[in-house]
């Protein structure tokens, strides 16, 4: 069956450290993969998009990797800050439909 | 530019009733998608409209329908409401006519079915 799995547990890290979130998928062949941030009570906010032929994408303190062989994407936040605390969602573009993972709740402690 | 707006923000309905939710996309965006978000199932794709035509559809029963108007505004309708339809309904618009469709989400409509 088709599945998307993100870090099952919430992630707690210390301010200044690098947060690494994982997104693994099975039985999908996405052409694109996207990452979103969602704060409680609000809609998700688009962060980054990476294409299947790209290995890595960066934007300020954010970095995304996409390994279509391992069927995995890693999302890194460097020099993390308490303001980065939120739920992060990965989304696979499958035939034009966005299929979202369950999300990983990140908490950055001062 | 103003963001995606959704009305109403909160709604309480009774089982068996029907409901219509409204979405105004970001100016210039022609693609509008709808999603359902619940604690158990997460964020699930309902359908996507582009130029007044449904271009993509998720795996939801026919009780869920939508439409898009010539000004790109969209509505979704849920008929014969069930308790399980209680959820946050999110509308999103995309600046691109073709893939990839990065999504700009509205704040959502919180629907409670009693």
Give chain B positions within 8 Å (CB) of A32.
99-100
What are the tens digits of pLDDT across the range B20-79? 999 999 999 999 999 999 998 999 999 999 999 999 999 999 999 999 999 999 999 999
CB atoms within 10 A of CB B44: 17
What are the tens digits of pLDDT across the range B55-68? 999 999 999 999 99
CA angle in degrees (0–180, nearest 5) for A36-A41-A43: 35
Instruction: Measure in Å the smallest separation between the Cα of B39 and chain A Cα atoms.
Output: 9
What residue spans of B1-114 are helical by DSSP H? Answer: none
**Chain B residue at shortest CA distance from A87:** B42
Q: Is A47 on the interface with B (CB under 8 A)?
A: no
What are the tens digits of pLDDT across the range A33-88? 999 999 998 999 999 999 989 989 999 999 999 999 999 999 999 999 999 999 99
Give chain B positions within 8 Å (CB) of A89.
43
Peptide bond into B16 cis (omega under 30): no
Give the CA radius of gyration of chain A.
13
Query: Higher-confidence residue: B57 or A96?
Result: B57
Instruction: Measure in Å the smallest separation between the Cα of B107 and chain A Cα atoms.
Output: 5
Overall average pLDDT of the B104-113 stretch: 97
Rounded to whole angstroms, the Cα distance separating B6 from B53 reads 20
Token pair for residue A68?
Answer: 């279509």
Is the Cβ–Cβ distance between B4 and B22 less than 8 Å? Answer: no
pLDDT at B96 exceeding the cut of 90: no
Rounded to whole angstroms, the Cα distance separating A90 from A72 reads 11
Peptide bond into B8 cis (omega under 30): yes
Q: To probe the interface with A, which of B5, B21, B48, B100 has the most A CB atoms within 10 Å?
A: B100
Among B55, B67, B54, B58, smallest CA distance to B20 is for B67
Q: Among partner residues B35, B103, B106, which is closest to A46 by beta-carbon distance?
A: B103
Query: What proportion of chain A, given as a percentage, has pLDDT over 70?
Result: 99
Tokens 């989400």, located at residue: B105
- When pLDDT is cut at 50, 70 and 90, the band that residue A3 belongs to is confident
Rounded to whole angstroms, the Cα distance separating B37 from A49 reads 21
- Region of B55 (left: φ > 0; alpha: ψ -120 to 50; beta: rest) is alpha
């Amino acid at each position: 069956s088709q599945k998307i799995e993100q870090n099952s547990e919430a992630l707690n890290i210390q301010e200044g450290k690098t947060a690494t979130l994982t997104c693994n998928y099975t039985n999908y062949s996405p052409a694109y993969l996207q990452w979103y941030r969602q704060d409680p009570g609000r809609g998700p906010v688009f962060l980054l998009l990476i294409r299947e032929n790209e290995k890595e994408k960066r934007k300020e303190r954010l970095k995304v990797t996409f390994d279509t062989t391992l069927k995995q994407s890693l999302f890194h936040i460097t020099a993390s800050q308490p303001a980065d605390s939120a739920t992060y969602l990965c989304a696979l573009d499958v035939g034009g439909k966005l299929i979202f993972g369950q999300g990983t709740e990140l908490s950055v402690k001062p | 530019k103003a963001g995606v707006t959704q009305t109403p923000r909160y709604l309480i309905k009774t089982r068996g009733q029907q409901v219509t939710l409204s979405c105004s996309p970001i100016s210039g965006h022609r693609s509008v998608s709808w999603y359902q978000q619940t604690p158990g199932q997460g964020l699930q794709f309902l359908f996507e409209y582009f130029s007044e035509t449904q271009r993509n559809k998720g795996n939801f029963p026919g009780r869920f329908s939508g439409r898009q108007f010539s000004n790109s505004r969209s509505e979704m309708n849920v008929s014969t409401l069930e308790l399980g339809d209680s959820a946050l309904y999110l509308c999103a618009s995309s600046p691109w006519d073709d893939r990839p469709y990065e999504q700009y989400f509205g704040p959502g409509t919180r629907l409670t079915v009693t």
